[in-house]
Structure formats: structure tokens, C-alpha cells
């Protein structure tokens, strides 16, 4: 039976690398690349072929990361999310990951669908959606920094002195 937590940790790490990896790709590469490509009049290559594929793996990796993380918490799920003493550190990380997941499925994906023309929208609606998706994605990039700190601190109690 011990291999289940081991499998969950492995899946959690793989899905987490995919999620955060694509989050950093969007924020550190694609935003600037799209601006430059639009100036060259060839943004369609990114918006039609790259972004939809990246968003597919991004949103499903986010969900798998959360589910595997919750499975890793197991019987300490409530203790972690209620920040009870021994589980408060991983609990803070779990809350940050949960806010990031809600941002992905509640703000980034629904608005990106409008921006990429996967859902009908007027130009005004597209501009508003582009702004919301951009701010939610930037927020997740910032949240990923303390999240990874609390994941490591939660998995290795005492390494940071608490």
C-alpha cells in the first residue's frame, strides 16, 4: 500500500512541473513574443497553433497537481486547510495552490477562450478578457514563488527552522 503516496508524490511533482513550467512560458515568453509577432503581422502562428495546445496541458496539469496534492494530504486534508499546527506550513502551500487553480479555471481559461476566438466575443469583450487573463496569470506567477517555498518547507519540516 505504501506505493500509493509515492505514486501521488511523483504525479504531483510531474503535473506541478508541467503547470508551473507553462505558467512561466506564458508570462516570460509568450506575452512578449505575441507582441513582437503581432508587429510582424504573424501572431496567428502563436494564437492558432501554440496557445490552444499550451492552454490544454496547462489547465489539466493544474487540476492533476491539485488532485494529487490533495491525495498526498490524505487524512490530514482538513488539518492542512484549517492550518492546524503540524500541518499549517503545507496548508499555506495548499491554499496558495487552490487559489491558483481557481484562477486557471475561473478566470484565465474562460477569458482566453474569448481572446483566441474559441468562444464568440466582440472586440471590446476580447480586450477586456485579454486584460483579465493577463492579470490573473501574472498573479499566479507571483503566487507560485511562496507556493514552492511552502511546498518544500511542508515536505521537509524543520529545514527552514519551522
Residues found near ligand HEM in the complex (CB under 6 A): 9, 12-13, 16, 19-20, 65-66, 69-70, 72-73, 90, 93-94, 97-98, 100, 147, 151-152, 154-156
Question: Which CB atom, from 46 or from 140, has the smaller least distance to ligand HEM?
Answer: 140
Q: How many CA atoms lie within 13 A of 42 on its CB side?
A: 2
Question: Which CB atom, from 43 or from 79, has the smaller least distance to ligand HEM?
Answer: 79
Residue 53 Cβ, how far from ligand HEM at the closest point, in Å? 20
C-alpha cell at 12: 504531483
Q: What angle do CA 83, 70, 28 make, to 5 degrees?
A: 95
- What is the rounded distance in angstroms from the CA atom of residue 65 to the CA atom of residue 61? 6
Residue 12 Cβ, how far from ligand HEM at the closest point, in Å? 5
- What is the rounded distance in angstroms from the CA atom of residue 148 to the CA atom of residue 150? 5
Question: Which CB atom, from 27 or from 98, has the smaller least distance to ligand HEM?
Answer: 98
Residues 6+ apart with CB under 8 A from 11: 64, 68
Residue 103 Cβ, how far from ligand HEM at the closest point, in Å? 11
Residue 27 Cβ, how far from ligand HEM at the closest point, in Å? 14
Amino acid at each position: 500500500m505504501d506505493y500509493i503516496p509515492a505514486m501521488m508524490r511523483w504525479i504531483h511533482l510531474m503535473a506541478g512541473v508541467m503547470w508551473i513550467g507553462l505558467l512561466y512560458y506564458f508570462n516570460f515568453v509568450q506575452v512578449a513574443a505575441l507582441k513582437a509577432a503581432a508587429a510582424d503581422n504573424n501572431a496567428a502562428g502563436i494564437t492558432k497553433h501554440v496557445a490552444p495546445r499550451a492552454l490544454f496541458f496547462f489547465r489539466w496539469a493544474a487540476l492533476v497537481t491539485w488532485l494529487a496534492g490533495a491525495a498526498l494530504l490524505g487524512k490530514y486534508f482538513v488539518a492542512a486547510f484549517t492550518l492546524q499546527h503540524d500541518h499549517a506550513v503545507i496548508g499555506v502551500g495548499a491554499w496558495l495552490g487552490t487559489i491558483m487553480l481557481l484562477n486557471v479555471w475561473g478566470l484565465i481559461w474562460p477569458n482566453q477562450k474569448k481572446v483566441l476566438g474559441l468562444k464568440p466575443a466582440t472586440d471590446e469583450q476580447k480586450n477586456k478578457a485579454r486584460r483579465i487573463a493577463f492579470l490573473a496569470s501574472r498573479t499566479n506567477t507571483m503566487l507560485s514563488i511562496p507556493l514552492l517555498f511552502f511546498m518544500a518547507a511542508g515536505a521537509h519540516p524543520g529545514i527552514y527552522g519551522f
